[in-house]
Structure 1
C-alpha cells in the first residue's frame, strides 16, 4: 500500500497533482483544498490511499492522516465510492463531518454533490460512531467571507489573480457566504478548464 508520497510537484490541475518521486511521476487525485497547498517546482507531501479496482489503480491524496483515515472510513459505507468520499471531504473537513454525524445533520450531508436525502440517512446510520467524536467545537456554517482563501487557492492552482477574484465574487453574489471548500468547488466548476 502507498500511504504517503513526497517529492517535487511537477503539475497541478483542479483535481490532480503529479509528484516526481525518484524519477517516477505519481498522479494523485485530491480535493481542491489539498491541491491548493502544493506549489509546482517545490517539494510536496500528500498522504495517500491506494484504491485498486478491476479496471484501475488510483492514488487519492490528502493533506493529513486524519483526512485520509476519514476517507477510508467513508468508503466502507455501502454506495460510497472513492469519488463521493472525496466529494464529502471537498465540502467538509473531517471535524465538521464528525460534528454532522454526531448531530445527525442530514441537510449538512446533502450539501455534498451526489448525496441525496436517502443517501445521507444511510451514511449517518452506517457511520454511527466510526469517525469518533469531533476534536473541537465546530459549526458547519460559512465564515463571513471565504473569498481571500479561495482566491489564493485558485492562484495556487494556476489561475490569474484577477480572473480568480472576479469568479469568487460572482460565486458569492450567486450563492452567498459558503465554507471555503464549497466556494472553491463552485468557483472551479464555473472556471472549468479556462486559465
Structure 2
C-alpha cells in the first residue's frame, strides 16, 4: 500500500500530477482542488490511495488524509469505482458529503457527473454512518478568495495570468459565485474550447 508520496512536482494537468520521488516519476490522479495546490518545481506531500485492478495499477492523490479516507470508503461501496469516487470529491468536500448523508440529500449527490437519482439513493443508503458526523458547518468561501485560488491554479497549469483572470471573470459572470472545484472545472472547460 502506498499511503503517501513526497517529492518534486514535475508536471500537472487537469486530472493528474507527475511527482518525482527519488528519481521515479509517479502519475497521481487527483481532484481539481488538490491539483490547484501543486506548483511545478516545488516539493509536495500527497496522501495517496493505491488501487490495483486486473488491467491497471493507479495512484490517487488527495489534499489531506480525510479526503483519502473518504475516497476509500466510497470505493468500498458496490458499484462505485475510483472514477466516480474522485468525481464525488471533485464536487463535494468530505464534510459537505457528510452533511449530504446526514440530510439524506439525493439532489446534492445528483450534482456529481455520473450519478443519477437511483444511484444517489443507493449511495446514501450504503454510506449510512460510515463517514461519521459532519465536522463543521460548511461555509462557502468568499468569492474573491475563490477567484484568486482558481486563477492561481490555472497559472500553475500553464495559462498566463491575464488569460486566467479573464476566464474566471467570464465564468463568474455566467454562473455567479461557485465553490473552487466548480469554478476551476468551468474555467478549464472554457479554456479548452479556445
Cα distance in 2 between the residues matched to 1:59 and 1:37: 18
Instruction: Report the RMSD for the aligned CA atoms in angstroms.
Output: 1.6
- State yes or no: 1:67 paired with 2:67: yes
Q: Is the 8 A contact 2:167 2:190 kept in 1?
A: yes
Aligned to 1:110: 110
Question: 1:124-174: per-residue Cα shift (whole Å, max 9, x none)?
Answer: 0110100000111125x6754532221122112221111111211222222
Aligned to 1:171: 171
Instruction: Identify if the C-alpha distance between structure 1 residues 143 and 107 changes in structure 2 by more than 3 Å, giving closer, same or farther.
Output: farther
Alignment of 1:89-168 (within 5 A): 89-139=89-139, 143-144=142-143, 146-168=146-168
Cα distance in 2 between the residues matched to 1:120 and 1:143: 29
Cα distance in 2 between the residues matched to 1:17 and 1:119: 30
Instruction: Identify if the C-alpha distance between structure 1 residues 190 and 78 changes in structure 2 by more than 3 Å, giving closer, same or farther.
Output: farther
Instruction: Identify if the C-alpha distance between structure 1 residues 193 and 9 changes in structure 2 by more than 3 Å, giving closer, same or farther.
Output: farther
Q: Is the 8 A contact 1:143 1:179 kept in 2?
A: no
Aligned to 1:187: 187
Cα distance in 1 between the residues matched to 2:114 and 2:178: 18
Instruction: Identify if the C-alpha distance between structure 1 residues 143 and 99 changes in structure 2 by more than 3 Å, giving closer, same or farther.
Output: farther
Aligned to 1:54: 54
Cα distance in 1 between the residues matched to 2:8 and 2:149: 24
SS at match of 1:90: helix
Unaligned runs of 5+ in 2: none
Q: Is the 8 A contact 1:15 1:31 kept in 2?
A: yes
Aligned to 2:40: 40
Aligned-pair CA distance for 1:26: 0.6
TM-score, length of structure 1 as denominator length? 0.93
Question: 1:67-106: per-residue Cα shift (whole Å, max 9, x none)?
Answer: 0000010111222110111111111111111011111111
Count of residues in Structure 1 that have an aligned counterpart in Structure 2: 193
TM-score, length of structure 2 as denominator length? 0.93
Cα distance in 2 between the residues matched to 1:86 and 1:79: 14
Aligned-pair CA distance for 1:122: 0.9
Cα distance in 2 between the residues matched to 1:87 and 1:71: 10
Moved over 3 A (4+): 141-145
